[in-house]
Chain A
Amino acid sequence: MSSQLKPPVSQADHEQGTAAASIEIVEYGDFQCSYCGAAYLVIKKIQQVFGNQIRFVFRNFPLTEVHPQATIAATAAEAAAQQHKYWEMHDLIYENQAELNEGFLYQLAEQLGLETTKFEKDMQDQSIQAKIESDFESGMRSGVSGTPTFFVNGEKFDGGAEDLFDMLKENAA
């Protein structure tokens, strides 16, 4: 179906790299999805190999009925973002995916040196829930068909993270 990213990347998104990068990768992901956990490592490799050519954006697409911890994990990452530690939390969650539960997320917050009272308050913040839902809805409109789904320079990419890596290597060769 539609293969265009809607809406395009904006200030509301969490990004690594700059808008000047030639390759923009947007992932719709779920923190409890094991395929996303595997993709996390591949994205790291892509970032290592292609460096500042890559701008990477992560949008939330929690499949809560099959992954009961997905939304709370997304909330924790967004709450960490309020203290400028989005990517640190994002990475820690994927690196410890098997341990995922609410208590563990608070441990991670502590490990990151987040201010506890503020983190706890942000975990309950309705505007964070609204952000997660708006990510999800944008994924629906963009034709996300499961997690992870990638968009490269605004076009839906038909394949997983390894396929994406292969495509980038081929184009660079």
Chain B
Amino acid sequence: MGYLEDIGTYFLMLKRTFSGFTKAGVLKELIFKEIDDLIIGSLGIVGFIGFFVGGVITLQTALNLTNPLIPKTLIGFATRQSIILEFAPTFISIIMAGKVGSFITSSIGSMRVTEQIDALEVMGINSLNYLVFPKIIAMLTYPFLIAIAMFLGIFGGLLAGVYGGFVSMDEFVQGIQQEFIPFHLAYAFIKTFVFAFILATVPSWHGYYMKGGALEVGKASTKSFVWTSVLIILANYIITQLLLSA
């Protein structure tokens, strides 16, 4: 029963988020602030992880490719496919569930605990529109972050493969161009949008409806990370089934 109620409040939250709009000028400022906090603030970690995991994927592929009959171009091909299809959209989103998700839950949760949300409501402001809507809009720029992760991942793979002596530059570049299906990019970005929506709304729900004090804010952040990750994994499975298995 508890889960059903939670699902119900989540959808009611979404309904209220898209009604009772805050003044446009204020909303614009809030959206830019959220883009700065959620997206620009994550560039460093996403770039760092993307670059090095890309390198590791290349190294592992190269080290496991012991059969001389398999062409070296497969290293670039495998790196590209892993990064575009799974690593950049899904793995980065799980990391973002920890970074951005916890930030959203704890910031909204702290506002709940210190009555700042009540203050907004008493002033006649739709607190959900004021707090959650700008996050959803800001997260529409999330694919930009994933595109950077894709680029840096493949670039990291190229450097690790070439300078590690596993593959030549030409072979790697040939590999990443081999059998390229543009729809795979579309698939990756479609699921990125879905993950972005989950990343903006699920942690917001955990923060907005939390009860208790400072300790509960911490607990809500942890729960938020777990549920956001679970939903991303589930959504990943469903979208993959729908878009790639046909």
Tell whether A pairs with B: no
A residues contacting B by CB (< 8 A) are none
